């Protein structure tokens, strides 16, 4: 299984080359809006192609589940891929986006890689072996009180639906109970930041498995907790709260 982590790292680094090359000529990037404020570019597709080609070369029988490609193949081992998490940030040249690859075997996450191509920060985790940032061990923060915590979240702009209304109510409640709130725009990278202690917790509704797969293992292996809004383990279905154990529980009580 360890070889898979190395291949995931290689795939991220190769895809990053494509990404960074395009970043310097954003005016030529082709963009399509899948739904309101949800974009896909030719860079997403090229990054995905680079990643999947590398995986198929080494593990042709494995299943691939990627944001743009969807499901391909059927196997006990599944590679869950977000080839460019934070596309809207990328399109604006805002320096917060990432590549995320999670590897699941028999329904359990085994390896996770999140790569920030601009900062050249490589977050990796393997089940039972801890989490790392550029080969140095990382842990979640030690913040004990929610009132001292820096929280990261997401905002779905221009959507006047019940989900957004509920999010705004939660935000209003949080604003009087935390030290600070950030909205960064790359859920995968935000989860990596929780894992290395840069932020104390993260919450979002409406995520997809490729947003969460690698980050969920990073959180767990760094000593943190991740759950859905009910405190259960269905965070792959869209509701995510992650943080160090103390802050996670306090945030969960507010989000509920």
What's 185-221 look like in SS3?
CCHHHHHHHHHCCCCCEEEECCCCHHHHHHHHHHHHH
pLDDT value of residue 35: 55
* Mean pLDDT computed over 122-130: 97
In which band, very low, low, confident or very high, does the pLDDT at 12 lie, cut at 50, 70 and 90? very high
- The pLDDT tens digits of the residues spanning 240-254 come to 999 999 999 999 998
If you average pLDDT over each of 62-71, 100-109, 160-169, which comes out highest?
100-109
Residue 177 in contact with residue 147, Cβ under 8 Å?
Answer: yes
* Mean pLDDT computed over 193-200: 98
Whether the model clears a pTM of 0.85, i.e. scores above it, the answer is yes
Q: 228 pairs with which residues across the strands? A: none
Residue 48 in contact with residue 66, Cβ under 8 Å?
Answer: yes
Q: What share of the chain is helix, strand, coil (3-state, %, to 5)?
A: 40, 30, 35
* Mean pLDDT computed over 51-78: 94
pLDDT value of residue 158: 52
* Mean pLDDT computed over 76-87: 96
Strand bridging mode 131-133 / 121-126: antiparallel
In which band, very low, low, confident or very high, does the pLDDT at 26 lie, cut at 50, 70 and 90? confident
Residue 128 in contact with residue 222, Cβ under 8 Å?
Answer: no
* Mean pLDDT computed over 143-169: 78
Alpha-carbon distance values, 9 to 20, 41, 111 (Å): 16, 22, 11
Please give the order of strands across the beta sheet that includes 77-85.
Answer: 70-72, 63-66, 77-85, 98-105, 108-116, 121-126, 131-133, 136-137
Residues 6+ apart with CB under 8 A from 183: 152, 153, 154, 155
Secondary structure letter of residue 147 according to DSSP: G
Residue 99 in contact with residue 19, Cβ under 8 Å?
Answer: yes
In which band, very low, low, confident or very high, does the pLDDT at 163 lie, cut at 50, 70 and 90? low
Tokens of 238: 């869209």
Residue 158 in contact with residue 127, Cβ under 8 Å?
Answer: no
Helix (H) or strand (E) holding 170: helix 162-175
Residues 6+ apart with CB under 8 A from 126: 1, 2, 5, 110, 111, 217, 221
* Mean pLDDT computed over 212-222: 98
Alpha-carbon distance values, 77 to 64, 106, 110, 125, 233 (Å): 9, 6, 10, 17, 20
pLDDT value of residue 166: 72
In which band, very low, low, confident or very high, does the pLDDT at 112 lie, cut at 50, 70 and 90? very high
Residue 53 in contact with residue 72, Cβ under 8 Å?
Answer: no
**Three-state SS at 135:** coil
pLDDT above 90 covers a percentage of the chain that reads: 73
* Exposed / middle / buried, residue 169 (Cβ in 10 Å: 0-12, 13-18, 19+): exposed
Q: Which domains occur in the chain, in start order?
A: 2-137 (3.30.540.10), 146-255 (3.40.190.80)
């Amino acid at each position: 299984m360890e070889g898979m982590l190395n291949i995931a790292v290689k795939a991220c680094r190769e895809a990053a080359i494509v990404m960074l090359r395009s970043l310097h000529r954003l005016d030529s990037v082709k963009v399509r809006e899948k739904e309101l404020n949800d974009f896909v570019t030719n860079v997403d597709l090229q990054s995905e192609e680079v990643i999947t080609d590398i995986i198929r070369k080494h593990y042709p029988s494995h299943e691939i589940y990627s944001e743009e490609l969807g499901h391909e193949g059927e196997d006990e081992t599944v590679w869950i891929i977000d080839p460019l998490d934070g596309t809207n940030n990328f399109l604006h040249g805002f320096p917060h986006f990432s590549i995320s690859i999670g590897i699941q075997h028999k329904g359990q996450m085994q390896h996770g890689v999140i790569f920030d191509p601009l900062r050249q920060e490589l977050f990796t985790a393997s089940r039972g072996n801890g989490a790392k940032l550029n080969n140095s061990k990382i842990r979640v923060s030690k913040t004990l009180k929610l009132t001292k915590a820096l929280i990261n979240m997401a905002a779905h702009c221009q959507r006047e639906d019940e989900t957004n209304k509920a999010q705004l109510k939660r935000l209003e409640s949080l604003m009087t109970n935390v030290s600070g709130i950030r909205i960064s725009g790359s859920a995968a990278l935000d989860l990596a930041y929780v894992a290395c202690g840069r932020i104390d917790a993260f919450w979002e509704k409406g995520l997809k498995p490729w947003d969460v797969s690698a980050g969920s293992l990073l959180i767990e292996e760094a000593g943190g907790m991740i759950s859905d809004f009910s405190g259960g383990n269905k965070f792959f279905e869209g509701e995510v709260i992650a943080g160090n154990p103390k802050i996670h529980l306090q945030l969960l009580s507010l989000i509920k």
